[in-house]
Amino acid sequence: MLQNLLNGLSAILTLQNGLFMVLGTIIGILAGAIPGLSSTLAISLLVPITFVMDPLPALAMLAGIYNGGMYGGSISSILFNVPGAASATVTAFDGHPMAMNGRSARALQLAVLASFTGGIISVFALILLSAPLAKVVLAFGPAEYFWVAVFGISIVVSLSSEGMMKGLAAGVFGMVVSMVGMDPATAVPRFDFGNIYMSGGFQLTSILLGMFSIPSAISLLEEKFKGKIDLAEENKAEKVRLFSYWFRYWPNYIRSSIIGVIVGIIPAAGGNIASFVAYDTTKKLSKHPETFGKGEPEGVISSEAANNAVTGGSFIPLLTMGIPGSPAAAAIMGAFMVQGIILGPQLFTSNTKLVYGLMWSMLFTNIIMLFAGYYGAKVVRKALGVDKEVLAPLIFAFSVIGCYSIRNSMFDVRVMLIFGVIGFFMKKYGYPSAAFILGYILSPLLEENLQRVIQLTRGNVFSGKSGLFGSGLSWLMIALTVMSLVFPYIMSWIGKRKQAKGEQGIPEDD
Q: Is residue 199 part of a domain?
A: yes
Span 457-476, average pLDDT: 81
92-107 pLDDT tens trace: 889 888 888 888 888 8
> How far apart are alpha carbons 328 and 318 in whole angstroms?
11
Q: Which amino acid is at 214?
A: I
Q: Is residue 401 part of a domain?
A: yes
Q: Is residue 471 part of a domain?
A: yes
Q: Which domain does 214 fall in, by range?
A: 2-504
pLDDT value at residue 252: 92
Q: Is residue 77 part of a domain?
A: yes
| Domain total of the chain | 1
CA-based nearest residue to 107, from 310, 383, 304 = 304
Q: Is residue 93 part of a domain?
A: yes
CA-based nearest residue to 365, from 126, 41, 130, 76 = 126
Consecutive H or E run containing 182: strand 181-182
Q: Which of 167-176, 317-326, 398-407, 497-506 has the weakest average pLDDT?
A: 497-506
Q: Which of 27-41, 117-131, 298-312, 487-501 has the weakest average pLDDT?
A: 487-501
Question: What ranges in 179-326 are assigned the alpha helix state H?
Answer: 204-208, 214-222, 231-237, 250-265, 270-285, 297-321
Q: Is residue 510 part of a domain?
A: no
pLDDT value at residue 232: 42
Q: Is residue 233 part of a domain?
A: yes
Q: Considering the entire predicted model, what is its pTM?
A: 0.71
261-301 pLDDT tens trace: 888 877 656 667 788 889 988 988 888 888 888 889 999 99
39-92 pLDDT tens trace: 776 787 777 777 788 889 999 999 999 999 888 888 888 887 877 677 788 888
DSSP β-bridge partners for residue 181: 190
Q: Is residue 509 part of a domain?
A: no
> How far apart are alpha carbons 372 and 24 in whole angstroms?
12
